[in-house]
């Protein structure tokens, strides 16, 4: 694990997820409520790459920020990792919030990325466009309300894994991904059990502020090729994916109808296969 300093006093955990240490870096960015090490199963499908995954501020082993939470801060986290490792023409993969953070980072610093693959990025089209209304448009954000009720304590890692596996949505994750989520997303507590590393209120604040950034209006500033993937549940954010791809200068959209919003974590092999085809489509072969 590498520690990277970001803005607002946040210190980020950056994880090496295997592959070839001399290979071309591939950066993975996680969704709200998760952490970087849930990408291990996807990274295993890229043994020729140097696979890196960050924990965004307030998640996993990263510290929280000072002040008000803004999604632009997650973009700062991405750019801080790029700067810390002096990465050039980066290829990156993002899921949900992680995809939005990558798009916001490219908007803030054009030319940072060579290619981006984003699964259901949280980017809100204007109200009424295509009927796309995200969870942030509701008077009370149901995702934020759910986060505030999230269970933080379990008797053991095994207890948490068993309980999560028994019901949706975490029960949809491939078994080894769910285990990675629990074993690296919780920590031992003084009572002999385990406690969630990310505070519930921080996750809720992430959901509450998800519709406040203005990435959609600036997507036409992104020149690098972007693959926008989505699952088949038909709701937000899947339904926004085609509009996001159209708004980009070099966007493409790919449906994976067998998957839900946690798609990369449900079927890492199928997801990696789609991403590999896109990343290796560049003139340099992408490796």
Instruction: Reply yes or no on domain 2-135+212-279 having CATH 3.40.50.720.
Output: no
42 vs 46: CA distance, rounded Å: 7
**pLDDT tops 70 at residue 44:** yes
- Selection from 165, 162, 194, 203 nearest residue 74 by Cα: 203
**DSSP secondary structure of 115-161:** EEEEES----PPTTGGG---GGGSSS-HHHHHHHT---EES-HHHHH
**pLDDT tops 90 at residue 107:** yes
Name the residue with tokens 């890692």: 157
The per-residue pLDDT of the chain, averaged, comes to 92
Name the residue with tokens 């949900």: 96
Mean pLDDT of 52-68: 94
**pLDDT tops 50 at residue 274:** yes
Is the preceding omega at residue 223 within 30 degrees of 0, hence cis?
A: no
pLDDT in tens, 196-238: 999 999 999 999 988 889 999 999 999 999 999 999 988 889 9
Structure tokens belonging to residue 105: 């980072």
- Selection from 16, 34, 13 nearest residue 25 by Cα: 16
Confidence of residue 143 (pLDDT cuts 50, 70, 90): confident
Residue-level pLDDT at 127: 62
- Selection from 89, 282, 284, 116 nearest residue 215 by Cα: 116
**pLDDT tops 50 at residue 131:** no
Confidence of residue 140 (pLDDT cuts 50, 70, 90): low
**pLDDT tops 50 at residue 111:** yes
Residue-level pLDDT at 136: 44
Residue-level pLDDT at 3: 97
Residue-level pLDDT at 138: 46
Q: Among 53-67, 79-93, 116-130, which stretch is predicted with the lowest mean pLDDT?
A: 116-130
Query: Do 113 and 223 form a contact (C-beta atoms < 8 A)?
Result: no
Element (H, E) at 263: helix 263-266
**pLDDT tops 90 at residue 52:** yes
Query: Percent of the chain, pLDDT > 90?
Result: 82
120 vs 143: CA distance, rounded Å: 16
Mean pLDDT of 113-122: 97
pLDDT in tens, 157-206: 999 999 999 999 999 999 999 999 999 999 999 999 999 999 999 999 99
**pLDDT tops 50 at residue 133:** no
**pLDDT tops 70 at residue 246:** yes
């Amino acid at each position: 694990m590498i520690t990277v300093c970001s803005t607002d006093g946040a210190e980020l955990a950056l994880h090496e997820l295997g592959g070839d240490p001399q290979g071309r870096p591939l950066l993975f960015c996680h969704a709200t409520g998760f952490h970087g090490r849930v990408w291990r199963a996807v990274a295993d499908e890229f043994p020729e790459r140097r696979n890196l995954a960050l924990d965004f501020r307030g998640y996993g082993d990263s510290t929280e920020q000072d002040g008000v939470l803004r999604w632009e801060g997650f973009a700062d986290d991405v750019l801080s990792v790029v700067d810390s490792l002096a990465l050039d023409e980066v290829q990156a993969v993002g899921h949900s919030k992680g995809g939005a953070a990558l798009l916001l980072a490219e908007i803030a610093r054009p030319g940072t990325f060579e290619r981006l693959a984003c699964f259901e990025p949280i980017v809100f089209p204007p109200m009424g466009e295509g009927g796309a209304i995200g969870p942030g448009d509701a008077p009370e954000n149901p995702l934020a309300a759910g986060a505030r009720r999230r269970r933080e304590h379990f008797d053991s890692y095994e207890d948490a894994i068993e309980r999560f596996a028994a019901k949706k949505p975490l029960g949809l994750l491939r078994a080894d991904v769910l285990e990675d989520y629990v074993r690296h997303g919780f920590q031992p507590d003084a009572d002999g059990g385990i406690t969630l590393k990310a505070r519930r209120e921080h996750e809720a604040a992430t959901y509450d502020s998800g519709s406040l950034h203005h990435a959609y209006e600036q997507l036409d500033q992104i020149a690098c090729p972007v693959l926008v993937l989505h699952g088949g549940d038909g709701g937000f954010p899947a339904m926004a994916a085609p509009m996001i791809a159209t708004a980009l200068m070099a966007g493409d959209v790919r449906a994976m109808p067998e998957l839900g919003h946690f798609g990369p974590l449900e079927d890492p092999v199928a997801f990696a296969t789609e991403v590999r085809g896109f990343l290796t489509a560049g003139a340099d072969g992408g490796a």
